[in-house]
Each structure stands twice: as C-alpha cells, then as structure tokens.
Amino acid sequence: MTSVDEFAQALRTAITNRGLGLERLREHLSQNGVTVSMATLSYWQTGRSRPERQKSLQAVVHLEHILELPPGHLSELLGPPRPRGRWLRNAPAPMSAFWSPQTPVEHALNGLDTQWDDQLLRVSQQDFVTIGADRTERVFRSRQVLSASMTGPDRWVVIMHIDDHDRPLPLVSALKNCTVGQVVREPAEGLLVAELLFERPLRKGESVVIEHELVNQDPCPPATNYERKFRLPTREYVLEVTFEGAPPSSVTQLADGSAVAAGRTLLDVALDVQPGVRGFSWTW
C-alpha cells in the first residue's frame, strides 16, 4: 500500500469513527480559519489527490485535532511530496511567469489551490472592458469556456494587477456557473488574486462556461491599456474595449506593436493563441 493509500484510508477511518460528514468537517476547518472545499476533502479520503501545498499540509494538522487523532498521525502517512509530471519536461511556465519579480504574485498564489490550472484546456477567453467618460478603468467582465483534461478541476484562479497602487482594488463578483472562493488582496502592490469555484468538480472531457466581473471603486485608476496574459495556449480569444467618452488619440496592439485605428470600440479576435500577452495600449 502506498503512502497516499495509507493516508486516504486513515482519513476515511478517522472521519467514520468521529461520525462527521464532509460538510461538517469543512465547517470545523473554516472555524479554525482553514478553507478546504468538500471536493478536496473527498479526493483526499478516496486517494484521488493528496495534500501537498503548505496550506493543505496546515489543514491536515487541523484535521488531526478535529478528528481527535494523535499529533502527526496523518501527516506522517503522507511521505515526501510527489513530483508532478507536467512540471518535469516541456512544462508550462509557472502562473507567476508573466509578472515582474517586483509583483509578489507567487507569494499571493502560495495560499491558494492552483493544482488544477494546468488541467484546464482554454477553449475560449472573452474579455469585455468598459472605460468611463472620465478616462478611468470601470468594469472588466470575462467569460471563460474551459474543458477538463482529467477528472478533478473545481476552480479557476483570477489574477488582477493595477499599475496605480494608491487606488482601491476592484470588487470581484461571480456572474455565471461559479462562486467566489478565497480572495487575496495586496493593496500596496495593486494585486488581487481570487478563486472562482465551479458548481462541482469537472469530469475528464467535461466543459464549463463561467463568467465573472471586476468593478473598480472610486477613485478609479486612469486607463491607458488592457492586457491579457496567456500562460497556456487558448483556442479563441475575444477582447472588446468600449470607451464611454471620447476615444483615445492613438492605439497600439500589444501582440505585435502595430498601430490600430482609434474608435469608441476596440476589438481583438484571435485563434490558436500561444503563451504571451495580447491587448491594447493607448494615449489620450
């Protein structure tokens, strides 16, 4: 029996002996300041996945207390962390790769569950951006079509960075087929990271359409550009930027640096997008 099997069996036995359902167990963890989804708890007890990240290992310590187990009983069964195959060869860039070292994205992501991100195929990414008549960033609405390459993905992680760090961070709202999970806010860095939790984990080959919205608070940051960072290939990308007031005087497309005709609406449509950056920058 592998260490993963031993951990799963010990966790199942402890849960049964304690007489707690997964929902109740999740509530106990939440009361201790630990957020773990029911899907994750289910995968841990069935052996489909194991706690590996620092946040998950801390959750195990709390589980031992809640389930009235000796300290270290479950932790010792996990053994050393296992390597993740897609990180070993031809691995995609880490989620922090397209951000400057001065932006603490890696630190913000450390407390979130990003294990499923590489297993979500990007079928379609659609961004709708509204720039106010006062030339400030108002609303960002995004629609993702995602397909699972394996059974298990249960969330999408959003990273938002604003250049003007003395402005309030936007408010994030789930609009379709998802709910907002854990949110990490770093106002001094202009950084917001949020989990969008699916209604249930996806099965292999299953797809989901989710929508979310980011709304800036007054005073909104001045708008000079919008960019979407692609860490993994995406089959379709659509970007629509709408100016509620006068259009900018000049516009540059970020993908190739070419000049674009300025108007009240900017549109970028691309197929088979490779890792990199797309979007527009403009001057007034």
Q: What is the pLDDT of residues 37-89, one digit of tens each?
A: 887 888 788 877 777 666 677 788 888 888 988 877 888 787 655 444 333 33
149 and 69 co-located in one domain: no
Q: For residue 190, with 0-12 CB atoms within 10 Å meaning exposed, 13-18 middle and 19 or more buried, which class applies?
A: middle
Residue 97 binned pLDDT confidence (cut-offs 50, 70, 90): low
129 and 236 co-located in one domain: yes
Helix (H) or strand (E) holding 207: strand 207-215
Residue 96 has pLDDT above 60, yes or no: no
* CATH number for position 33: 1.10.260.40
Query: In Å, how far are 68, 143, 162 from 50, measured between CA atoms?
Result: 20, 30, 35
* CATH number for position 182: 2.60.40.3140
245 and 194 co-located in one domain: yes
Percentage, residues of the chain above pLDDT 90 = 33
239 and 148 co-located in one domain: yes
Percentage, residues of the chain above pLDDT 70 = 85
Domain end (from 39, 61, 78)? 78
265 and 158 co-located in one domain: yes
62 and 125 co-located in one domain: no
Residue 85 lies in a domain: no
63 and 189 co-located in one domain: no
Mean pLDDT of 83-104: 50
Question: pLDDT value at position 264?
Answer: 93
Q: What is the pTM of this model?
A: 0.64
**Alpha carbons 19 and 36: distance in angstroms, whole number:** 19
Residue 95 binned pLDDT confidence (cut-offs 50, 70, 90): low
**Alpha carbons 118 and 157: distance in angstroms, whole number:** 11
| Residue 99 or residue 123, greater confidence | 123
- Per DSSP, the residues of 163-179 read S-TTSPPPEEEEEESEE
Per-residue pLDDT tens over the stretch 8-41? 888 989 999 988 888 888 888 888 777 788 878 8
Question: pLDDT value at position 94?
Answer: 63
Domain end (from 61, 78, 95)? 78
Domain end (from 27, 59, 78)? 78
Residue 47's domain comprises: 3-78
Residue 3 has pLDDT above 60, yes or no: no
| Residue 128 or residue 91, greater confidence | 128
Per-residue pLDDT tens over the stretch 215-240? 988 888 888 889 898 888 899 999 99
Question: pLDDT value at position 101?
Answer: 54
Per-residue pLDDT tens over the stretch 254-279? 888 889 998 999 999 999 988 888 99
32 and 165 co-located in one domain: no
8 and 112 co-located in one domain: no
161 and 262 co-located in one domain: yes
- How many structural domains compose the chain? 2
44 and 117 co-located in one domain: no
